Amino acid sequence: MFKKFDRKDVSTSTQVKTSVQRALKSQLLEKHPNVTEDQLDVLMPKKSPLVQYKLGSYTMIYCRRFEADGAEDDDDRIATTPKDVPILYQDRDGPILPTLKLVHRHPTLDFARVTVDKGAIPFLLGGANVMCPGLTNPGGEMPPDDADKPGLAKGDGVVIFAEGKEYAIGVGIMTMSSAEIRSKNKGIGIELLHYLGDGLYQIDEI
């Protein structure tokens, strides 16, 4: 999705209403039960505006706005305009997903996650979807399935880690449940939307 993303591709910004911000938090809490409300309040403080940008016809990028403080940046320039830093995004009616930089900056935010084996790493870093064997081979990992409920359902958003790597390398959506992935063990298991080094990862602000 963001392979060739450029900040010029987004439309004019719109400040998110408080009710919408609450709905975003509710969905994140529902889909990522290990993330707490207190953590989300730090991530999206009530007094700090959340700004929405539209990418194409169906994708929304949510940014936290940091007001100008007059401090010098890394290039010795004085900050005089607000910074809109991408933290979340949503494609069509899909799940609310975190940006990789958000995941890296806040490692205690325990989003739903999977791990792919070492062999899958170069394919993901090239923008390829995650194939089922990358999750079921030695080194791959998914949450355990219960008899009546899979660890991950079809359509769930997940942060993708890699065998032997400390930091996440991608974010995507399950194309089948974790139980189906284990039983079928072929085809695409996760649609990759955002990955290390893509256009969204390369920008710090919009």
What does the pLDDT look like over 23-40, one tens digit per residue? 999 999 999 999 999 999
User: Which pLDDT score is estimated for 48?
Assistant: 79
pLDDT, tens digit, 9 for 90 and up, residues 137-164: 999 999 999 989 999 999 999 999 999 9
User: What single letter denotes the amino acid at residue 131?
Assistant: M
How far is CA 170 from each of CA 9, 68, 125, 157, rounded to the nearest angstrom? 21, 30, 8, 11
Distance (Å, rounded) from C-alpha 100 to C-alpha 106?
A: 10
- Kindly report the pTM of this predicted structure: 0.90
Helix, strand or coil, per DSSP, at residue 184: helix
User: Which pLDDT score is estimated for 69?
Assistant: 62
How far is CA 203 from each of CA 47, 128, 188, rounded to the nearest angstrom? 24, 21, 28
First CA to last CA across the chain, in angstroms? 17
Round the average pLDDT of the chain to a whole number and report it. Answer: 91
- What are all long-range contacts of 137-142, with beta carbons under 8 Å and residues at least 24 apart? 139/115, 139/163, 139/164, 140/114, 140/115, 140/116, 141/114, 141/115, 142/114, 142/115, 142/178, 142/181, 142/182
Taking 50 as the pLDDT cut, the residues of the chain under it are 77-78
Using left for φ > 0, alpha for ψ between -120 and 50, and beta otherwise, residue 187 falls in left
The count of C-alpha atoms lying within 13 angstroms of the C-alpha of 94, restricted to the half-sphere facing its C-beta, is: 24
- Which residues on neighbouring strands pair with residue 131, listed in sequence order? 188
User: What single letter denotes the amino acid at residue 135?
Assistant: L
Phi, psi of 108 (to 5 degrees): -80, -10
